[in-house]
Amino acid sequence: MKKILTLTVVLLLTLLGRNADVIAATAVDIPAATTINWENATLENCKSENGGTDVGSTGENTVITFSINNTVKQGYILSFLTGTKNEADLNVTLTDGDVTYLDETITVLNTGNWTPSVKHQLVIPELPVGEYSLVFKVTRTTDKYAGNYGSLTFSSTSDYDKCPGTLSLAKGTYNGPRTENDNDNVGFVTNGGTATYSFINTEAGVYNMTLDFYGLNAGKMNIIVTDENTGTEEVNTIYEITKNAGYTPTTILLPGKMETGVKKITFTFTNEGGGFICNYKTPRLEKYASNIAMVKNVSIDGLSVKEGTTTDWLVNIPTTYDETTTFRVESISADLTVTARDAEGTDVPVTNNGDGTYSISTPAANTTTIVSLKVAAQEDAAVNKEEWTLALFRIGEIQMTALAIDGMAVELPADINTAPYTATVSGRIATSMPEVEATFLDGSTATGTGTLSGTTATYTIEGKIGEDTRTFTIAVEGVQIYEMTDKDEIVELKYTSEGKEGDGNWTNGIYTLESTSLDGWSNSSFKFNATENTWKIPSDVVVKQVIFKDFNANYNSGRLVSLVSEGATVTIPTKHSYDEPDETKYDLVINLDGHKAGTPFTFTLEGGGQPVAWFQLVIEKVSIVSSPVLENQSVTSTEHKNHCVVALTYDREMTTTTATIGDRTVTAEGGSATLYFPVWDLEYNKDYTLTIAAGAAQDTYGNSNTEAINILIKVGSKAVVEKAVYNYVVSDVDEFKAAFAAVNNSNTSADAARKTIFIKNGDYDFGSEEQRLTAYNVSLIGESRDGVMLHGNRDGISNPVLNLRDRTGFYLQDLTVRNDNNFGKEEKGGVAVAIYGGDKTAMKNVRMLSNQDTQVTGNRAYFENCEIHGTVDFICGGGDNFYSHTDLILEDRGGNCITAPSTSSALKWGYVFQNCTIRAAEEASSVTNGSYNLGRPWQDTPRANFLNTIMYVLPSDGAWAGMSDGLTTHFYEYNSMNPDSTKVDLSKRTNSPSSANKYTPVLTDEEAKAYTLENVLGGTDSWLPTEETVTVAAPVVTVKDKTLSWEDSDDARCYVIFCDGEYVTNQTETTFTITTDGKYTVRAANVNGGLGEVSNVVDTSVSGITTVEADKNEEYIIYNLNGQRVNTMQKGQVYIVNGEKVIFQ
């Protein structure tokens, strides 16, 4: 067979000659550990891309042929990705010339993007050892192209569970739930949790799932089975979970036919009461029948069939409809018995028309006929539901059947359907104009239009059936709306990550929210996990109204139980509940009468479900004449640091205040109730006093402190780095993922000890999977920037290759992260994030590769000697981020834009680029002077600043582009330079044309002085990231008796030994015993694990070596190994002394 295949390829190439559209094939051995390169195939009417990672430029005549050599007899799953902007059919065959082992046609779906993203998995049950021809042939396309294909693999079916059979809990993917007791069961199942298992179905049919269930609380399990190849949903059912005393064997019929192939079964758990829902043990799928007997659909020509409330289907029949109603029933593997009864329970004759349709008399006006469809299974079919029902309602007189106010059902007034169709609703409280909605006999609804008089709102509601209308009037009493006065102000309180204090509290510097496990969305709602929550109010503020804006829940329903403030009368409306999803959100308005200035208010939530809201307060400020009250003072730790922040918290908003420490002054900015004094560059082992003179700390009314305030600062000794080896050393994708899983499991709190992951040189291809750190304080240390490639193919701004958005304290050094989505291709379109996030994070010598949105920034981060590539908005997002000596590389595209900030209004700096460079990528011919912009506004209050930038290619004259209209921007530039150090002309610079504000975007010399690392990132915790990025000096290594040795360094966490440029080990000891000859070097790692300078080379492969002491330099004639005469020797180096090779020690 090998000769036949080889001859085929030779003949093909001979016939085609030098046709440029055909590339010859190279035999591919399977199984293979990596993806198969498409350049190994004969490519006809298509082209390989990205070095063979993908294939594109396909069309109706495309044929791709691989020569496959199978070395192991086993089953395989042939997997590949497709992407296209139209639709196509692709036939895939695998044959040895005699037997066809695979022949399937898949549809290449329109993804709106050429990047391969839709996964196809084709099962080859068993493939003997031998040689085969694998052919991909386009058989249909709706446009010129037939899509791009990528990520071709052959994986063993042994990696998958087989059904009929059991599903391994250990192979599941869990979001919330997790396995317990050595994978014996799944526990920790709560509302919203999911569990997913992949398997191969070997027999088409209907299945029962059996498993042991331990119901802890009532809930539901939604079971969905999806075909991994077609995306077809084959099963979707809900199992009701009940509480029981222990594990109980349970059988669940999966109502749908599962075809053969690779499947994914997903369990989604929900409940309303909170708490753990259940535990379960290994599920088993057993074939129950070949088909499912069911009613699939009911339809009536010209009428809408919808889901009924008490029946499966409901049809509203117009008044003018025919006397006979004919409906069509679609069923599967079922014999039907169709009967009907009217509203009084009398049988209604049904005529079977013999063509799948049935006819009955149309119901009388304002009455309903219920049609019963009873199912009897045909041979080898299973019945999941024996009876299906259809309600036929005939519309007649317009009548109101239900009334809801603010989404809450109220009792329908008895006389509302009697002329003159008016009624009054009392016994309710509303603090804003209620929403009134009526439901009519035919199921239609209408919303009322209201006017307010005193505390009564009157609504008119129009009901309509056909051409007939009727007007109803509803008076709603108890409407208490607060009218603002000229003295009132509106305060908006929205969550920002910058305001979060520890695990529970949040502050904007004036208002403080005290809670526990508090979270939120940036510049939007708070997410509440606590029952009781308190807003602390400034001492000069009277609160008139509290509005829970966009009040709803992430999970399940609950309610506001109370809102109290000492001495105040609080009015809470009748509707004060919350629910999910987002469509249920509303503004909950609460009025306060008699609130005392500065008195906090506490609100209590009941029901869990993580309610969410942001707050709008209506307040009045009252003048006060008393001195500011100092409520709290603190100093960040100076135990092993020579800098700190002194924080003084008052009972009201303060103005900018100056203090003295030694012979210098420090300033805290006003506008907040807390004054933060940043203090830098103190001497170690010395005590200081920070003094605020009497009268220096003033509030906004001119009141000040009557006595001086003295704060003691005790500076300890300089830190000695604690010795520790790397926690994990990884060399492939599986080890990398395992290390991530381990740290995500261990480092769950902000005070967790740092974990370090050392990544050896290699290609780490994650495919379409995200790598997400949900741990605190983790270091990712690469062996070398160019040698460590972390990459994957991800699409969308929330789908990065590396996700750091969840936690704080990350450190990255000496590695590359690339999003393969269109990177390096002619078509540069598509959002493709390499790294997302980073709070209190430092990166050193990190390269990020992509096109659009390469880096989505986090809250606060530092970048040193990094390299970031991109085209459009390739640094985007929020936060204060400082880039030092970083290269910004423009990929080959005209109209590029470097930044698109969305800086929170609570922040002062945004993006600060200090001493960076801007240049074009190699062969980026589209990047010319004037072809790009420095930035454009995205969201919020965008800020970006370029200082002392070397520009190898110049931006447009204005330098700043437009995008989101009406935003207040802060875009600045200072001292931009050409590569020859001459200054760039900034006289034509203008701010973004879409900015709401107008200014000259160039800093003065004095303004530029403020953009220091300490100011930008110091914050309220005195963070100095350069303490973490220290480059530890190169150890001086000597050798004696096969033992390397060097002196210890106080800055070193550990030492990494290399031989011939390859990683050997890492250790905390300062000696290493050699077992293999070679050229050895040692590098010390800094406090976070980042590698320092390389030591001298010790070559133990040089024969005949002796040692020379340092004081013998003058006694010998010395040559280096290049034959040059030298006068001095360096420790650890090899020399020729009096004709002998020696190592100088």
Q: DSSP for 213-269?
A: EEESS-EEEEEEEEETTT--EEEEEEEEE---SS-EEEEEEEEEEEPSEEEEEEEEE
pLDDT digits (tens, 9 = 90+) for 387-412: 999 999 988 788 899 999 999 999 99
Say whether both 693 and 764 belong to one domain.
no
**Residue among 42, 3, 36 nearest 19 (CA):** 42
pLDDT digits (tens, 9 = 90+) for 151-168: 999 988 888 899 999 999
**Residue among 489, 500, 498 nearest 527 (CA):** 500
pLDDT computed for residue 735 by the predictor: 95
Does residue 797 lie in a domain region?
yes
Say whether both 451 and 554 belong to one domain.
no
Confidence category of residue 1128, pLDDT binned at 50, 70, 90: low
Given a cut of 50, whether residue 765 has pLDDT beyond it is yes
Say whether both 538 and 662 belong to one domain.
no
The end-to-end CA distance of the chain, in Å, is 66
Element (H, E) at 741: helix 733-746
Instruction: Return phi, psi of residue 801, to 5°.
Output: -70, -45
With pLDDT > 70 as the criterion, what percentage of the chain qualifies?
93
Given a cut of 90, whether residue 436 has pLDDT beyond it is yes
Say whether both 872 and 1018 belong to one domain.
yes
pLDDT computed for residue 1124 by the predictor: 52
Contacts of 434 (CB under 8 A, 6+ apart): 405, 406, 428, 450, 457, 476, 479
C-alpha angle 436-439-442 in degrees, rounded to nearest 5: 160
Cβ atoms of residues 958 and 995 within 8 Å? no
**Residue among 514, 517, 583 nearest 553 (CA):** 583
Say whether both 48 and 119 belong to one domain.
yes
The C-alpha atoms of residue 937 and residue 992 are separated, in whole angstroms, by 8
Mean pLDDT of all residues in 728-732: 96
> Domain holding 306: CATH number?
2.60.40.3780
The C-alpha atoms of residue 1026 and residue 910 are separated, in whole angstroms, by 19
Q: 3-state SS string over 752-782?
A: CCCEEEEECCEEEECCCCCEECCCCCEEEEE
Task: Using alpha carbons, list the distances in angstroms from residue 1086 to 276, 808, 1026, 1128.
Answer: 44, 19, 11, 31
The C-alpha atoms of residue 390 and residue 396 are separated, in whole angstroms, by 19
Does residue 323 lie in a domain region?
yes
Mean pLDDT of all residues in 1125-1129: 63
Say whether both 616 and 644 belong to one domain.
no
Cβ atoms of residues 690 and 660 within 8 Å? yes
Given a cut of 90, whether residue 961 has pLDDT beyond it is yes
pLDDT computed for residue 51 by the predictor: 81
**Residue among 786, 731, 785, 720 nearest 759 (CA):** 731
pLDDT computed for residue 1109 by the predictor: 39
The C-alpha atoms of residue 540 and residue 595 are separated, in whole angstroms, by 12
Given a cut of 80, whether residue 231 has pLDDT beyond it is yes
The strand pair at 839-849 and 867-870 is best described as parallel
> Domain holding 1106: CATH number?
2.60.40
Say whether both 492 and 475 belong to one domain.
no
Does residue 407 lie in a domain region?
no
Q: Which residue has the tokens 């000695």?
A: 720
Mean pLDDT of all residues in 188-200: 92
Cβ atoms of residues 96 and 1 within 8 Å? yes
Element (H, E) at 1008: helix 1005-1008
pLDDT digits (tens, 9 = 90+) for 164-190: 999 999 889 898 898 888 889 999 999
Query: pTM score, two decimals?
Result: 0.64
Say whether both 1067 and 1124 belong to one domain.
yes
Instruction: Return phi, psi of residue 14, to 5°.
Output: -65, -45
> Domain holding 186: CATH number?
2.60.120.260
Given a cut of 60, whether residue 252 has pLDDT beyond it is yes
Cβ atoms of residues 271 and 185 within 8 Å? no
pLDDT computed for residue 81 by the predictor: 92
- The 8-class DSSP code of residue 1112 comes to G
pLDDT computed for residue 34 by the predictor: 77
pLDDT digits (tens, 9 = 90+) for 40-96: 999 999 998 888 889 999 999 999 999 999 999 999 999 999 999 999 999 999 999
Task: Using alpha carbons, list the distances in angstroms from residue 231 to 226, 227, 235.
Answer: 6, 5, 12
Cβ atoms of residues 692 and 721 within 8 Å? no
Contacts of 591 (CB under 8 A, 6+ apart): 431, 480, 482, 544, 545, 570, 571
The C-alpha atoms of residue 871 and residue 892 are separated, in whole angstroms, by 7
> Domain holding 565: CATH number?
2.60.120
Given a cut of 90, whether residue 721 has pLDDT beyond it is yes
Does residue 577 lie in a domain region?
yes
Q: Which residue has the tokens 């004054």?
A: 675
**Residue among 570, 561, 394 nearest 482 (CA):** 570
Task: Using alpha carbons, list the distances in angstroms from residue 892 to 361, 918, 927.
Answer: 71, 14, 6
Does residue 382 lie in a domain region?
yes
Contacts of 1075 (CB under 8 A, 6+ apart): none
Confidence category of residue 419, pLDDT binned at 50, 70, 90: very high
Does residue 837 lie in a domain region?
yes
pLDDT computed for residue 1144 by the predictor: 63
Q: Which of 377, 394, 411 is the last residue of a domain?
A: 394
The C-alpha atoms of residue 754 and residue 808 are separated, in whole angstroms, by 11
The C-alpha atoms of residue 1033 and residue 1085 are separated, in whole angstroms, by 10
The pair of structure tokens assigned to 802 is: 């590396």
Cβ atoms of residues 277 and 219 within 8 Å? yes
Q: Which of 122, 138, 158 is the last residue of a domain?
A: 158
Q: For the beta carbon of residue 238, count every other beta carbon within 10 angstroms.
A: 13
Q: Which of 158, 185, 219 is the last residue of a domain?
A: 158
Q: Which residue has the tokens 């005393």?
A: 245
Q: Which residue has the tokens 């993203």?
A: 117
Neighbour-count burial for 393-424, b at 16+ CB within 10 Å, e otherwise: bbbbebebeebbbbeeebebbeebbeeebbbe
pLDDT computed for residue 26 by the predictor: 80
- The count of C-alpha atoms lying within 13 angstroms of the C-alpha of 26, restricted to the half-sphere facing its C-beta, is 6
* Winning range, highest mean pLDDT, from 212-216, 229-233, 329-333, 1027-1031: 1027-1031
Cβ atoms of residues 70 and 91 within 8 Å? no
Say whether both 820 and 891 belong to one domain.
yes
pLDDT computed for residue 229 by the predictor: 84
Is 39 in a helix, a strand, or coil? helix
Task: Using alpha carbons, list the distances in angstroms from residue 604 to 495, 532, 599, 918.
Answer: 19, 5, 17, 53
The C-alpha atoms of residue 141 and residue 147 are separated, in whole angstroms, by 9
Given a cut of 70, whether residue 959 has pLDDT beyond it is yes
Cβ atoms of residues 791 and 818 within 8 Å? yes
Cβ atoms of residues 91 and 104 within 8 Å? yes
Domain that holds residue 297: 293-394
The pair of structure tokens assigned to 315 is: 């049809």
Element (H, E) at 12: helix 2-16
pLDDT digits (tens, 9 = 90+) for 314-328: 998 888 889 999 999
Say whether both 524 and 494 belong to one domain.
yes
pLDDT computed for residue 1 by the predictor: 37
The C-alpha atoms of residue 888 and residue 915 are separated, in whole angstroms, by 11
Confidence category of residue 1140, pLDDT binned at 50, 70, 90: low
Does residue 742 lie in a domain region?
no
pLDDT computed for residue 181 by the predictor: 86
Given a cut of 90, whether residue 852 has pLDDT beyond it is yes
Q: Which residue has the tokens 């758990």?
A: 269
Say whether both 344 and 448 belong to one domain.
no
Cβ atoms of residues 404 and 410 within 8 Å? yes
Task: Using alpha carbons, list the distances in angstroms from residue 369 to 387, 388, 393, 465.
Answer: 16, 14, 7, 19
Does residue 969 lie in a domain region?
no
Mean pLDDT of all residues in 722-729: 97
How many domains is the chain partitioned into structurally? 8
pLDDT computed for residue 1104 by the predictor: 46
**Residue among 722, 718, 720 nearest 643 (CA):** 718
Is 534 in a helix, a strand, or coil? strand
The pLDDT mean for the chain works out to 90
Say whether both 1011 and 1061 belong to one domain.
no
